[in-house]
Amino acid sequence: MASTIPIQTDTFRLGFVGAGKMAESIAKGVVKSGVLPASRIRTAHRDFDRREAFSSFGIKVFEHNHEVVEDSDVVIISVKPQIVKEVVLQLKPLLTEDKLLVSIAAGVKLSDLQEWAGNNRFIRVMPNTPSAVGQAASVMSLGGTASEEDGVLIASLFGAIGRIWRADEKLFDAVTGLSGSGPAYIFLAIDALADGGVAAGLPRDLALGLASQTVLGAAAMAINTGKHPGQLKDDVASPGGTTIAGIHELEKGGFRGVLINAVVAAANRSREFAKR
């Protein structure tokens, strides 16, 4: 089968069909981490500013998407979800089985992508917005004829902008509810923590800096210590102390239940979109 032709990891060229912010974040991360030199990455755009954003760090920028596909071995479809079908159908004659196709379009299923492309060598990846600062939480699912080697290759690319997990595609709506929408929940929490600091007498700048760094530090501890977050919480909450007084207020307000409901509500909305 043509689909088993391996991608040559030391020479393959990576193309982005769609030159938006997410594509730029991935490209920059891949170059910065040394996974791929800029000379082996290409994209296309007609807008001067978008062209400049990519060419400024050495990426080849074409006029048309078909040139990107023709000159690439791995093609990342990074256009907006509502135009994915139109773009893939236009490029279909070029999307041959020797190319590994990747989609980062939210809510667009592998079965549809494979049908439109006439090619089952597809991997669907869901990154999130912290990819812009190299701290993405991404999840990938392999399509029909994508090989384990293909999966390893894509994991290395997306590992350059954060952390990546592999999961069954049926879990992607829940992934959307948690990591896709989750950054917004944390931004709200940072804003509220800073407001609390101001209410307690801190200057706004100091309160916001402390709130942001506190969230960053707590997340780093959760990732790096290997301890359950409940244990980390217990480590901070000394008997009759300040922390347990604050936790008591959070529990009275239904803090955990509200966050659980937020994830479930976003996941449910994602399922609704998928049905349309």
65 marked ligand binding residue = yes
CB-count exposure of residue 85 (10 Å: 0-12, 13-18, 19+): middle
137 φψ region: left (φ > 0), alpha (ψ -120 to 50), beta (else): beta
Are 87 and 79 contacting, i.e. CB atoms less than 8 angstroms apart? yes
Report residue 24 CA to chain centroid gap.
12
Are 158 and 102 contacting, i.e. CB atoms less than 8 angstroms apart? no
Q: Kindly tell me the number of DSSP H helices and DSSP E strands found in the chain.
A: 12, 8
Tell me the torsion sign for CA atoms 12, 140, 23, 90.
Answer: positive
| SS3 (DSSP) at 236 | helix
Binding positions are 65
Binding positions for NADPH are 65
